[in-house]
């Protein structure tokens, strides 16, 4: 019995989930360096992280849809404190 590539592929999971805090890094955009919250990870049939897109809500109230390459995670102040 033959199997197809889609049957052999493991289920893809986005890097970030709803609620993850990120910083926007696209230099030619008015929200450059603004912090935002992931509000949705969009479907990614390719399963390739470089093609993952997210809906975000910026702290200034604006919304956007961007690929993962323009977002970087923001460490919370709780994570930055030494134990």
80 within a domain of the structure (yes/no): no
Q: Total domain count for the chain? A: 1
Question: What's the pTM?
Answer: 0.76
- Is residue 47 within 8 Å of 80, Cβ to Cβ? no
* pLDDT of residue 81 exceeding 60: no
Q: What is the pLDDT of residue 47?
A: 85
Residue 59, domain member (yes or no): yes
Residue 6 lies in a domain: no
Domain range for 51 is 11-75
DSSP code of 50? G
Q: What is the CATH number of the domain that holds 23?
A: 2.30.30.40
Q: Is residue 1 part of a domain?
A: no
Q: Is residue 25 one of the residues assigned to a domain?
A: yes
Residue 3's pLDDT band (cuts 50, 70, 90): very low
pLDDT in tens, 30-80: 999 999 999 999 999 888 888 999 999 999 999 999 999 999 999 866 655
For residue 4, is it within any domain?
no
Flag whether 5 is in a domain: no
């Amino acid at each position: 019995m033959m199997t197809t590539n889609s049957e052999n592929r493991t289920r893809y999971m986005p890097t970030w989930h709803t609620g993850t805090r990120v910083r926007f890094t696209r230099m030619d955009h008015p929200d450059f360096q603004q912090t935002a919250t992931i509000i949705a990870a969009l479907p990614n049939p390719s399963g390739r992280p470089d093609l993952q897109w997210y809906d975000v809500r910026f702290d200034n109230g604006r919304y956007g849809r961007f690929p993962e390459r323009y977002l970087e995670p923001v460490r919370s102040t709780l994570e930055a404190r030494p134990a």
